[in-house]
């Protein structure tokens, strides 16, 4: 057993629906998932809606019970332990702040269950509010706060209890783009400073990449790939992961069976194949060309498929490069190619 | 296209005003006439509060008033507890597999609101006869518990429907067991609904005539019964006064209940996930 | 609590415990009395206003005597009374729809938002006040020396007071007046939910205002109309107070008839039978509505 694993999920499944006579109409929201989360890491569960990531998170929190499998936190089996007895706390997607309590009362809510003396509430609450940079707002009520402020209160309320693991259910979903990016950086910094394990659920791959040490990509209740962010991004193991991470260029392997994928930014347009033997090329016609500020996106139609490339606009673009309809070569360094459909690991 | 054409809109507005006038005119007339210095006819003969002072001096009205308050208070107290518990139970039906009896419970609670009072009154009278229970104030209280429970259950149920489940999950996540979650989170948030339901039930009980007329024993006359017996013998100004007084009292209670039931920012509609 | 079986039953037990008091209270003091009354409706009265004991049960059943009360209720003057109750309830419902729909339309679509809430509260408040008092108020208006006659006489429009009270006319007014709030609310609710852009689309496609109303608005607000119909029809059928106070000797409704059986007519079995006929109509209406609502995806908060 991995000594550094603080959360261990062992072959956990969650079925919904009524088991009927002929196997019924149950469906598996989570299907035999096993993974470890290491102490002190920022771990993300990434995937499209309905992939089971939130359900899995809720099972770790104790808000849902698995229909099969076991969950261990810090070595202790907690599979059927109610949420109020687990050493984990959750930040809810819609924050779930108590409308009838002030900010300070919200944050202090769980302290009595940790045996903290009433006299110490104020210091702890103030410390938590300072941590999330909301000092001085203790007297306000949730309906007097902005979305971003409410989110911080939810965070403070969980952190004040010093949980071993903090669970975050798409907490940044309701924020606007700019605020989101700021919070991403802030959360990351907070996690490092407090040295708490974070388990973070999101459907935004960029967000997951920005913040996580390791991440797990989920699809239809199963884990497709787990690993450090760079690995998942640059070396996807399945077609789903490749597409989800935005690497939609598939090529058939030369042996005949199997495919490999090359990320769009690793493809280049050439008027002729380069001499370097480590490079491969494919012929095609430019179908579309879109200026995107930092990059220009090219769509090239080849014989076997369509390819998307990004070329950074290093030089001023005006009139540079092939036009729509031109014949070009799409080329890449074969060492950037990743074979798909291998065995899962890590 | 907006539905506001000058003509049609004004016509509709006029109609609406007419209907509201229709709704409130009789009540206004009653109130006005309770101050009319005239016994028999509908001619205005000057303002007076003599009918109200007569009420205060009237010995015979005190018992009915007291009885009405006792009946309403007692039946509402019981109904609030029973009805709130039932509403809480109904709201939890979603959490158990195969909700047996949810429809039956809902139907049961709906019966007192649907079945005509004349039928209920007759049935209760028969019932008390069969089990040989003498009619008294107690039989009235028991009779009122029936419909009061339904009103409370309906009002509290509506409040619970809009209750955000994730608040309970958050409380549990933060360490509160089921009882603590209920006391610290759920109860404070549904309390306005409970009080409003109680006020409504109290109002309905105070106003009830038909059922009460069947099951009240001698000496258990309530205010509506008293009013009825008076107006059956003819329109008198005292009846106007006591009716107005009762009317205004209940309107105040209703307005308080309406205020309590205003939508709050806390509970999100359809807040379950 | 880690025992899986205990866990599975904890929640149902909790629910059961919560609804138990209601079942006990209503079961004993509501359902049981109704059941007893049903049984009595099959018996006959005795000379003193009680119930004649049945000597031979089997003979009693076989000779269909147990349906005697029900049969009697469909004879002669009783049938007239039943019929009158039904058509008055239907008429009341129809009139209420006609009067209320424009009002609900106005509040939902035309009134300024600040006024909407006030208008709704104003429509609801009468509903919660004493039915007895509200009906009595009409006595003040309609009686010979009442407001209506006084005004008409003094303005010279008539020379003799009209008989406005103690007849069908007065009862209809009383019924409509009493039930109106019940109709406004559900109509408002469904009009409020109406998607305005659908009306705009209809206009865009060439429908004039009347056509839009009949082809789009009315069909889409049908759930509200049906709910209102049910909410008005049911109390109207079982009405007692209005016909008692405002109706004459000729305007007897089934509610009054039942009341008579339990007071001076001393025929409880017959009264019970009548009561059950009314209940049957009411429950049938509710059942029909439940089926209708389920097919349409349900309307909350009847």
What is the per-residue DSSP string for A35-75?
EEEETT-EEEEE-STTSSHHHHHHHHHTSS--SEEEEEETT
Average pLDDT over residues B219-245: 88
| Distance of alpha carbon A272 from alpha carbon A330, whole angstroms | 9
| Distance of alpha carbon C109 from alpha carbon B35, whole angstroms | 39
Average pLDDT over residues B243-251: 93
Write down the domain spans for chain C.
78-266
Residue pair B273/B169 in contact by the 8 Å Cβ criterion:
no
Residues in chain C within 8 Å Cβ distance of B255? 121, 125
Nearest to A101 by CA among A155, A153, A136, A147: A153
**Same domain for B64 and B43:** no
Residue pair A29/A55 in contact by the 8 Å Cβ criterion:
yes
**Same domain for B40 and B99:** no
**Same domain for B11 and B106:** no
**Same domain for B106 and B197:** yes
Q: Which domain holds residue B38?
A: 3-51
**Same domain for B139 and B70:** yes
Task: Give the angle B114-B102-B272 at the CA atoms, nearest 5°.
Answer: 110
**Same domain for B202 and B235:** yes
Which of the four pLDDT bands, split at 50, 70 and 90, describes residue B10?
A: confident
Q: Exposed, middle or buried, C207 (CB in 10 Å: 0-12/13-18/19+)?
A: middle
**Same domain for B166 and B81:** yes
**Same domain for B18 and B96:** no
| Distance of alpha carbon B164 from alpha carbon A90, whole angstroms | 16
**Same domain for B69 and B47:** no
Cβ contact (<8 Å) for A82 and B177?
yes
Is C2 within 8 Å of chain A by CB?
yes
Which residue pairs from C70-75 have beta carbons closer than 8 angstroms and sit at least 24 positions apart in sequence? C70/C41, C70/C273, C70/C277, C72/C270, C72/C273, C73/C270, C73/C273, C73/C274, C73/C277
- Which among B15, B30, B51 is the end of a domain? B51
**Same domain for B244 and B166:** yes
The CATH T-level fold of domain C78-266 is MetI-like fold (1.10.3720)
Question: Measuring CA to CA, how many Å separate A326 from each of A48, A283, C184?
Answer: 36, 11, 69
pTM equals 0.83
Is A330 within 8 Å of chain B by CB?
no
Paired strand residues for A281:
A331
List % helix, strand, coil for chain C (3-state, nearest 5): 75, 0, 25
Residues 6 or more apart in contact with residue C236 via CB below 8 angstroms: C88, C89, C92, C93, C175, C179
Q: Which chains touch C (3 or more CB pairs under 8 A)?
A: A, B
Helices (H), chain A: 53-61, 103-108, 121-131, 147-159, 177-194, 205-211, 229-234, 239-244
B270 assigned to some structural domain: no
Cβ contact (<8 Å) for C121 and B258?
yes
**Same domain for B115 and B35:** no
Q: Give the β-pairing of A42-46 and A214-219.
A: parallel
pLDDT digits (tens, 9 = 90+) for B70-108: 999 999 999 999 999 999 998 887 655 555 677 888 889
Mean pLDDT taken over chain C: 87
Is C3 within 8 Å of chain A by CB?
no
Number of CB pairs, chain A paired with chain C, less than 8 A apart: 5
Phi and psi at residue C243, in whole multiples of 5°?
A: -70, -25
Q: Compute how many other C-beta atoms are within 10 angstroms of the C-beta atom of residue A92.
A: 24
| Distance of alpha carbon C250 from alpha carbon B138, whole angstroms | 36
DSSP string, A176-221: -HHHHHHHHHHHHHHHHHHT-EEEEEES-HHHHHHH-SEEEEEETT
Helix (H, G, I), strand (E, B) or coil at C229: helix
Q: Nearest-CA distance from B87 to chain A in Å?
A: 21
Paired strand residues for A89:
A166
Is A145 within 8 Å of chain B by CB?
no
Instruction: Evaluate if residue B272 carries a pLDDT over 50.
Output: no
B77 assigned to some structural domain: yes
Per-residue tens of pLDDT for chain A, all 346 residues = 456 789 999 999 999 876 655 556 788 999 999 999 999 999 999 999 989 999 999 999 999 999 999 999 999 999 999 999 999 999 999 999 999 999 999 999 999 999 999 999 999 999 999 999 999 999 999 999 998 999 999 999 999 999 999 999 999 988 889 999 999 999 999 999 999 999 999 999 999 999 999 999 999 999 999 999 999 998 999 989 999 998 888 888 776 677 888 888 888 888 888 888 889 898 899 999 888 888 888 899 988 888 988 888 776 656 567 888 889 999 998 888 888 864 333 3
Instruction: Domain count for chain B, please give it.
Output: 2
**CATH number for the domain including B104?**
1.10.3720.10
| Distance of alpha carbon A199 from alpha carbon A105, whole angstroms | 26
Mean pLDDT taken over chain B: 87
Helix (H, G, I), strand (E, B) or coil at B115: coil
Paired strand residues for A331:
A268, A281
Say what the ipTM of the complex is: 0.88
**Same domain for B138 and B78:** yes
């Amino acid at each position: 057993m991995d000594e550094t694993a603080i959360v261990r999920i062992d072959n956990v499944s969650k079925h919904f629906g009524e088991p009927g006579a002929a196997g019924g109409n149950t469906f598996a929201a989570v299907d035999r998932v096993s993974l470890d989360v290491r102490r002190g890491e920022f771990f993300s569960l990434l995937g499209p809606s309905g992939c089971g990531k939130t359900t899995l998170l809720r099972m770790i929190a104790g808000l849902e019970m698995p229909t099969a499998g076991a969950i261990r936190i810090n070595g202790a089996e907690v599979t059927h332990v109610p949420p109020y007895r687990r050493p984990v706390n959750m930040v809810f997607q819609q924050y779930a702040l108590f409308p009838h309590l002030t900010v300070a009362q919200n944050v202090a809510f769980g302290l009595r269950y940790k045996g903290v003396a009433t006299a110490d509430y104020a210091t702890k609450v103030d410390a938590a509010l300072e941590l999330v940079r909301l000092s001085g707002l203790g007297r306000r009520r949730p309906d007097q706060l902005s979305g971003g402020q409410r989110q911080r209160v939810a965070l403070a309320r969980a952190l004040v209890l010093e949980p071993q693991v903090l669970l975050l259910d798409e907490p940044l979903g309701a924020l606007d783009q700019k605020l989101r990016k700021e919070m991403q950086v802030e959360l990351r910094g907070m996690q490092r400073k407090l040295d708490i394990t974070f388990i973070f659920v999101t459907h935004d791959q960029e967000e997951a990449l920005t913040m996580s040490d390791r991440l797990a990509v989920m699809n239809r209740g199963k884990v497709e790939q787990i690993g450090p962010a760079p690995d998942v991004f640059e070396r996807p193991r399945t077609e789903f992961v490749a597409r989800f991470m935005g690497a939609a260029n598939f090529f058939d392997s030369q042996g005949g069976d199997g495919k490999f994928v090359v990320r769009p930014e690793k493809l280049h347009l050439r008027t002729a194949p380069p001499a370097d033997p480590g490079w491969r090329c494919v012929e095609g016609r430019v179908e579309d060309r879109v200026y995107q500020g930092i990059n220009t996106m090219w769509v090239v139609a080849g014989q076997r498929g369509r390819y998307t490339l990004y070329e950074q606009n290093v030089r001023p673009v005006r009139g540079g490069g092939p036009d729509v309809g031109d014949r070009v070569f799409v080329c890449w360094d074969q060492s950037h190619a990743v074979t798909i459909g291998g065995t899962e690991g890590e | 296209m907006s539905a506001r054409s000058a003509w049609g809109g004004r016509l509709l507005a006029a109609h609406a005003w007419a209907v509201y006038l229709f709704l409130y005119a009789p009540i206004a007339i009653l109130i006005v006439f309770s101050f009319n210095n005239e016994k028999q006819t509908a001619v205005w003969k000057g303002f007076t509060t003599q009918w109200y002072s007569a009420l205060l001096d009237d010995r015979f009205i005190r018992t009915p008033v007291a009885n009405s308050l006792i009946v309403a208070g007692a039946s509402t107290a019981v109904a609030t507890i029973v009805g709130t518990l039932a509403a809480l139970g109904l709201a939890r039906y979603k959490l158990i597999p195969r909700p047996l009896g949810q429809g039956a419970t809902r139907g049961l609670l709906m019966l007192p609101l649907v079945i005509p009072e004349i039928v209920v009154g007759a049935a209760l009278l028969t019932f008390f006869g069969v089990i040989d229970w003498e009619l008294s104030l107690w039989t009235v209280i028991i009779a009122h518990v029936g419909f009061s429970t339904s009103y409370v259950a309906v009002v509290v149920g509506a409040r619970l429907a809009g209750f955000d489940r994730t608040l309970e999950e958050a409380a549990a996540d933060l360490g509160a067991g089921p009882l603590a979650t209920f006391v610290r989170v759920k109860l404070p948030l549904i309390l306005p609904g409970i009080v409003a339901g109680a006020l409504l039930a109290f109002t309905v009980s105070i106003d009830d005539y038909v059922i009460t007329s069947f099951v009240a024993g001698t000496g258990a006359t309530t205010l509506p019964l008293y009013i009825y017996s008076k107006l059956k013998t003819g329109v008198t100004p005292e009846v106007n006064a006591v009716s107005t007084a009762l009317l205004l009292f209940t309107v105040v209670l209703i307005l308080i209940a309406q205020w309590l039931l205003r939508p709050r920012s806390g509970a999100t509609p359809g807040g379950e996930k | 609590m880690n025992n899986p079986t205990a866990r599975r039953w904890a929640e149902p037990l909790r629910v059961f415990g919560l609804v138990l008091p209601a079942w006990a209270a209503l079961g004993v003091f509501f359902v049981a009395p109704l059941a007893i009354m049903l049984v009595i409706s099959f018996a006959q009265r005795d000379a003193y206003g009680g119930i004649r004991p049945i000597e031979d049960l089997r003979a009693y059943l076989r000779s269909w005597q147990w349906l005697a009360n029900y049969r009697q209720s469909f004879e002669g003057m009783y049938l007239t009374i039943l019929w009158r109750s039904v058509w008055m309830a239907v008429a009341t419902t129809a009139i209420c729809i006609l009067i209320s729909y424009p009002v609900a339309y106005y509040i939902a679509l035309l009134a300024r938002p600040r006024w909407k809430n006030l208008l709704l509260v104003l429509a609801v408040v009468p509903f919660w006040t004493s039915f007895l008092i509200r009906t009595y108020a009409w006595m003040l208006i309609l009686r010979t020396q009442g407001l209506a006659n006084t005004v008409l006489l003094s303005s010279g429009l008539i020379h003799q007071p009209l008989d406005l009270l103690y007849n069908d006319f007065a009862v209809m007014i009383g019924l409509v007046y009493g039930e109106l709030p019940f109709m406004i609310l559900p109509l408002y609710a469904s009009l409020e939910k109406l998607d305005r852009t659908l009306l705009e689309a209809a206009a865009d496609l060439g429908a004039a205002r009347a056509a839009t109303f009949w082809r789009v608005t009315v069909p889409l607000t049908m759930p509200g109309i049906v709910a209102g119909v049910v909410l008005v029809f049911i109390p109207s059928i079982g009405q007692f107070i209005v016909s008692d106070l405002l109706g004459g000797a000729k305007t007897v409704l089934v509610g009054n008839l039942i009341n008579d059986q339990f007071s001076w007519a001393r025929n409880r079995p017959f009264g019970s039978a009548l009561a059950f006929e009314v209940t049957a109509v009411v429950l049938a209406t509710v059942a029909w509505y439940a089926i209708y609502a389920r097919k349409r995806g349900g309307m909350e908060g009847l």
